[in-house]
Amino acid sequence: MRVIAGTAGGLKLTTPAGTTTRPTTDRVKEALFSILDSADAVYGAQVLDLFAGSGALGIEALSRGADHVTLVDKSRPALEALRRNLLHTKLTNRATIIGLDAWHALDQLVRQQARFDLILIDPPYNQGLQVKALERLTPLLTPAGLVVVEAANREILPEQVGNCLLTDRRVYGDTALAFYVLEGNNAP
């Protein structure tokens, strides 16, 4: 696993020990960031990487010019890998790590009135966590913000969750990417 492009492009990333984390493949990450770059959704953005694991998605966003990334994970091995990866890519100064489960982290971010232009959700597959996260993150999304949800390609996510509308779905092998925006937003 590596950073694909940007200031840290080509650098290898550490994956967490154990089998609880499923890193996004380079193929899926490359496709995702091609879509995001063409929509001008990364450069200068405030990004939330929920269920961050090794931090590969958030670090890719930082490498491509995101202003700041907040990375959330509760797993100790994931947090250790995430910290190592931020140090290795020299992107630590533009990142905040929250070592809590997603639900407590979302509650904390809502209380802090945090706002994000791009939210990346990559939870364990087939547990319904994508919809649960979508239901809780609306207060965190800027009006023109974009949410990208990674899921197993067999998982069918709803067309609408709260104020979030599904605008696109792409399948890459066993993985699907679903793109959500707030009602009234015409982003990809």
pLDDT band at 7 (very low <50, low <70, confident <90, very high): confident
- Look up the pTM and report it: 0.92
Which of 83, 64, 56 has the alpha carbon at shortest distance from 1? 56
Distance separating alpha carbons of residues 171 and 54, to the nearest angstrom: 22
For the chain, which residues make up each domain, given as ranges?
26-182
Q: Tens digit of pLDDT for each residue in 76-91?
A: 999 999 999 999 999 9
Question: In the CATH hierarchy, which top-level class contains the domain 26-182?
Answer: alpha beta
Within a 10 A sphere around the Cβ of 148, how many other Cβ atoms? 21
- Show the beta-strand stretches assigned E in 51-163: 68-72, 95-98, 116-121, 141-152, 160-161
pLDDT bucket at 18, cuts 50 / 70 / 90: low
Strand partners, 170: 177
For residue 10, what pLDDT band results from cuts at 50, 70 and 90? Answer: confident
Euclidean distance between CA atoms 151 and 117, whole angstroms: 21
